[in-house]
Chains A and B, each alone.
Chain A
Amino acid sequence: MAATPFSSLRLRIYFSISWWIFFAGQLFLERWFGLPWKDAFLDCVVSNGLLLAFCLMLMNTFRYYLPKKEQFLNVLGICVVFTTLWLLLSRWLVSTYVSYYNLHPEVLRYSVPIRFSMGLLVLGCISLISVLWSHWAEQKENEARKTDAEKLAREAELFKLRTQLQPHFLFNSLNSINALIGMKPDEARKMVQQLSDFLRGTIRKEENQFISFSEELEYLKLYLEIEKVRFGYRLKTEMDIAEESLAWKIPSLLLQPIMENAIKFGLYGTTGEVTIGLRATVADKHLVVAVMNPFDPDMQMPAGTGFGLNSVKRRLYLLFGRNDLVEINKSQNSFVVIFRIPDINA
């Protein structure tokens, strides 16, 4: 642990104020008992100065030795040792230099229990603060590390997801273009354009950027156009987008992986024509998006589909701190993923 509570300016001010209060208190008390100004002042400087030094030493000790929760007896032990040392040292200095105590040694002797309890109280408080502060700092550091680790893991996940889904799509699209070049050059050219725009979109988008739903839809349409060229009549889409949903802000690259899953799941999980449905509405201050694909209950999910949905779930959790934003409905012959995006301006 590199720092002590003293590295915080606010705490430093509180410490100094408390020290002056102690100083004034002792001075007042000793004047009350009849010590002359000079002697009382000297005593206060010596004992409080030493106390300050011991406080700093104690803090430094806890910088290097941090007791576990169950070791609070050790802390108490350390306090008693420090207090005793402080008491012996200050008593010796005081009895040497303060002339009043040479004449009235019994005053000094009577004050020992009071001095000890006050010293123990102060040093006890200081060590308590030090220990708690160190624990808190350590915990904060752990949390920061955890967040970092989560962020890294999330990025890795997304990267993996993207690379996992892209190669098939990319090479098959190129193969389709290759076929079109011979038969329908105009369509080949159009598909090259769409594929480029789509790929540019994947590279450009930052992970945590929010974009409007209409922007994400444009991007999605690009993707669907390409898939429709690849799969021909087999792939149909039905979109039902409410007007008010278009301006809603959503995390980028969220919808596309879900759609990709639905298509993959639909096209490879069933035979014949496949209709993918997309419905978007605004309800209860959330954008509600449902993606539907046909589903054969006898089939298992193709590899990689569950991964995409989990990653979407986790992303929404990390962004909004909620677990209830993704819902999956499996019925006899359809598979529906519903996700809700809260209003980020609210």
Chain B
Amino acid sequence: MRKIIIIDDEPLARSIVKEYLQKHKDLEVVQECNDGFEGVKAIQQHQPDLVFLDIQMPKINGFEMLELIETPPPVIFATAFDDYAIKAFEAHAIDYLLKPFNQERFDKALHKWRDQNNKQSEKNTQDLLETVSQSPAQSQRIVVKSGSKIKIIPVHDVLYLEAADDYVKIHTKEGYFLKNKTMGHFEQVLDPQQFVRSHRSYIVNVQQITRIDPYEKDNHVAVLKAGTQIPVSRSGYGKLKEVLGL
């Protein structure tokens, strides 16, 4: 038996998926989830072979949920309407179902999934996340996992980002959170008028800067409202000056 998880905040939307699944005797729904929080837990617990996932859900959306899982499982999206996401689906998802959909269309999506091997679909999911994370809605907040808790950080609460091996440390007033992404990713996703890569290992929120002091020969440091000093390289200084209009 192959394991299926359905994640959708509308009960009837889940039941139609279950109904269409009845024909496929080799597939078993191991859990239904109301939101992304339950979804993260269920996926880690069951390691499903396929997930049916809605996009618009309480608190965190389907994409943000997937970002929290280290190796996201193969996913078929079921959504009502999302202009931006649809473009991403066309490129990377196994398939996506536009609600409402019929049994025939549903079977076709499952067929596509059966044809693909797992390696391929995992890579596709990663590519998909990279694409959608650049959508306007996604760049307003960062979703991270700290321990078993899920934390949603509005970008304006971010003080600065710091590279730490394979992770990025997201510093906020409440301390820092780790996210398994690259500095390059954040540099691309965040608003360049607000977040400036001041140094190879630092991205700083310019609204937090109180002053910029010279430091040693060619370098500077940016001093934040909280007193923290952020290294500024020579090229970073140029970028900062441009954004701050100096």
Contacts and interface: CB of A to CB of B under 8 A. Distances in A.
Q: Do A and B come from one complex?
A: yes
Interface of A: 167-168, 170-172, 174-180, 182-183, 229-232, 234, 267-271, 296, 298-300, 303
A240 B57 CA distance: 29
User: What are the 9 A-B residue pairs with the smallest beta carbon separation, nearest first?
Assistant: A171-B80, A175-B99, A179-B16, A179-B12, A178-B100, A175-B100, A176-B12, A167-B81, A232-B11
Contacts of B57: 268
Q: Name the residue in A175, A268, A300 with the highest tally of chain B Cβ atoms < 10 Å from its Cβ.
A: A175
A229 B12 contact: yes
B46 to A, nearest CB: 20
A172 B80 contact: yes
B98 A171 contact: yes
B58 A269 contact: yes
Interface residues of B, number: 27
A176 B13 contact: yes
Interface in B1-43: 9-13, 15-16, 19, 34-35, 37
Given A268-B56, A268-B59, A303-B137, A171 B10 contact: no
B99 A171 contact: yes
Contacts of A270: 58-59
Interface string B146-182: 0000001010000000000000000000000000000
Given A175-B100, A179-B12, 8 more contacts: A172-B13, A175-B99, A178-B100, A182-B16, A182-B19, A231-B11, A270-B58, A300-B154
A131 to B, nearest CB: 44
Contacts, number: 78
A231 B11 CA distance: 7
Nearest to B38: A271
A172 B58 contact: no
B15 to A, nearest CB: 5
Contacts of A176: 10, 12-13
Contacts of B11: 231-232
Contact of B13 (A179, A268, A298): A179
A179 B15 contact: yes
Nearest to A300: B154
A171 B56 contact: no
A170 B99 CA distance: 10
Contact of A299 (B12, B15, B98, B152): B152
B141 interface: yes
13 contacts: A174-B99, A175-B13, A175-B16, A175-B80, A178-B102, A183-B19, A229-B12, A230-B12, A234-B9, A267-B58, A268-B57, A271-B34, A299-B152
A171 B34 contact: no
Nearest to A267: B58
Contacts of B19: 179, 182-183
B85 to A, nearest CB: 12
A232 B59 CA distance: 18
A300 B80 contact: no
B9 A231 contact: yes
Given A174-B100, A175-B100, A179-B19, A299 B59 contact: yes
Nearest to B80: A171
B162 to A, nearest CB: 23
A180 B11 CA distance: 11
B140 interface: yes
B152 A231 contact: no
A183 B14 CA distance: 13
Contacts of A267: 9, 58
Contacts of A229: 12
A178 B16 contact: yes
Nearest to B153: A298
Given A180-B12, A299-B152, A303-B137, A171 B59 contact: no
A168 B9 CA distance: 13
B10 A231 contact: yes
Nearest to B99: A175
Contacts of A182: 16, 19
A177 B100 CA distance: 9
A234 B98 CA distance: 23
